[in-house]
Structure 1
Amino acid sequence: MFDALIIDIFRKIIISMKPRIIYLKIIKTIFREIKLRSKNC
């Protein structure tokens, strides 16, 4: 549930932001962290 809230917040930030390259890099790093956390759990 916590990861879903983080993703929803970042979606709102993305909508407000326009430079796509920057937020795509941020999303990739976030999803890498989520995958690592899910593997550890």
Structure 2
Amino acid sequence: RFFGETDPTSRRMMEDILAVEEEHAEDMADLLDNVPQQH
């Protein structure tokens, strides 16, 4: 919301960073799904 209106370079950089972080979150969720649950 704050990036991109006047600074497209910063907006693109933030979008790229967020895309990588989203991939990391998906990888972590996949790892956690495969961890055996202890009761």
Q: With structure 1 as the length reference, what TM-score do the two structures score?
A: 0.56
Q: Would you tell me which structure has more helix in proportion to its own residues?
A: 1
The residue aligned with 1:9 is none
Which stretches of structure 1, 4 residues or longer, exceed 2 Å deviation after superposition?
A: none
- Is 1:36 the counterpart of 2:17? The answer is no
Q: Partners of 1:37 and 1:20 in 2: how far apart?
A: 25
Q: Partners of 2:23 and 2:6 in 1: how far apart?
A: 26
If you compute each CA radius of gyration, which structure gives the higher value, 1 or 2? 2
Give aligned-pair identity as a percent: 4
Give unmatched runs, 5+ long, in structure 2: 30-39
Task: State the structure with bigger RCO (CA 8 A, min sep 6), 1 or 2.
Answer: 1
Give unmatched runs, 5+ long, in structure 1: 1-12
Between the two proteins, the alignment pairs up a number of residues equal to 29
